[in-house]
Amino acid sequence: RADGTSFPVEVSVQRVVHTEQSLLQYFVRDTTQRKQIEEQQQARQREVSALGQLTAAINRSLELPEVLEAALNELLAALQVDCGAIYIERDNGLYLSAAHGFSAEFRGSAARYPQAADAVATAAALPDPMLPWLAAEQVQAALAEPLAAPSGPVGVLLLGDRRRKTFSADESNFVRVTCDRIAGAVENARLLQRLQASVEATRTAQAQLMQAARLSAIGQMAAGVAHQISNPLTTVIADSQLLLRAVAPDHPAHASALAIQHAGWQAQRVVQRLLNYSRPGEEVMRPTRVTGTVGDALDLVRSYLQRSGVQLELQLDAELTPVMAIESQLEEIWINLLMNARDALVDTKAPRVTVAARCTPDGRAVEVEISDNGPGISVADQAAIFEPFYTTKADRGGTGLGLSVCQTIAQRHGGYITVQSSEGAGAAFLTHLPFAPA
């Protein structure tokens, strides 16, 4: 052309004989318009293919990361651009969820989009500092479009190219259509996540109800057995007292009668603890001495530990400030943790369980530690040990609810439970409970 620019042409050559001379006749045709039409058709074909592939990816999976990666790949291929990113709204911000063609520096500095999703939905221009970030990537043309679902903005799509200066109107329209598909996929993935969470919560609640029903039945049976034992114990204690009155202190039978009375009272206390534990009490929090609840729990499981050959060590601070608690629920925590410790010691030589109750270093809470010298807990198990249904004792009838229930009870009391362990070095469960208000 006269301005020095080139353009596509089609050249045809024809031989012509004129007055005994052989000539070549050249025809040159400007094919710029035809080329443009062909390129537009190819672009439309790529766009249709990309939409088809995107729809297939959405139908194939509801896993959001997988869908976003597939969508971005198809979009970049259809538009033949260098780079792109998808930001998804969460926690009142827009965070990078998929990216291609950008450097690691960009991914680090632009990990959060410098604008809120609702602002992007109404703003056409790229916000600062996005422009300097793109300039550092040598991006010449950039396009940002909101991902708008029926429920509202869910993210932003960002495209960039290092060769061109602008995006055409047709390309912008195609991007908007694609953004609608991506936004719908995000919405569906979130609905699925909420549904899965709801199903899991229902499953947990049902399992806890079943466990509660089983515990209630066991409690009723225990209460019946306790009542049946209580009456003979009353007779044993009463007769031992009569015997003590009937014999002189220096009589050989006096020491035996005293031992019978002591054993009777000890058995009576265990029966009473069992009745208190199995009987649904008032769900009212009151100032409670933690060491007392630990002692009551030990009364119920001490013989079980002793029969298993477990040495029990106590380090209880009797002067601890009370906590606001429901006594029976704290006892449930200690019993669960003690039974778990015993189960962990099945194959341990010289098994030992240590129970300690002390004030935390900051002086604001009670810390009860129940530890054992068993095989310990792996890092992977520690990460999930308080989740409902997670159990390492499935072969021994474990339900995976014990520690989850304990954590729930501790949290209901304003506290929490942590675990400290390494494989081969035992495990320690620490329950933190805040002091009752002065």
The model's pTM: 0.46
Give tens-digit pLDDT for 258-277. 888 877 887 777 777 666 65
- Give the side-chain half-sphere CA count within 13 A for 171: 22
Can 35-195 and 284-434 be said to share one CATH topology?
A: no
Q: How confident is the model at residue 80 (pLDDT cuts 50, 70, 90)?
A: confident
String of DSSP letters for 302-333: HHHHHHTT-EEEEEE-TTPPPEEE-HHHHHHH
For 208, 210, 394, the CA distances from 399, given in Å and listed in that order, are: 10, 11, 7
Q: Which fold has domain 35-195?
A: Beta-Lactamase (3.30.450)
Tokens describing residue 384: 């999930």
Phi, psi at residue 400, to the nearest 5°? Answer: 80, 15
Domain segments of the chain: what residues?
35-195, 284-434
How far apart (Å, rounded) are the C-alpha atoms in residues 411 and 417?
8
Taking residues 377-396, report their average pLDDT: 69
Neighbours of 77 (CB within 10 A): 13
Q: Which DSSP string corresponds to 212-246?
A: HHHHHHHHHHHHHHHHHHHHHHHHHHHHHHHHHHH
Task: Assess whether pLDDT exceeds 90 at residue 359.
Answer: yes
Question: Whose CA is closest to 151, among 194, 111, 115?
Answer: 194
Where residue 367 falls among pLDDT bands split at 50, 70, 90?
A: very high
Q: Which helix (H) or strand (E) holds 150?
A: none
179 near 157, Cβ under 8 Å? yes
Query: What would the DSSP string read from start to end of 388-407?
Result: TT--S-GGGT--S-HHHHHH
SS3 for 32-57 is HHHHHHHHHHHHHHHHHHHHHHHHHH
**Model confidence at 103: pLDDT above 70:** yes
Identify the CATH number of the domain defined by range 284-434: 3.30.565.10
Q: What is the pLDDT of residue 273?
A: 64
Question: Mean per-residue pLDDT for 129-142?
Answer: 86
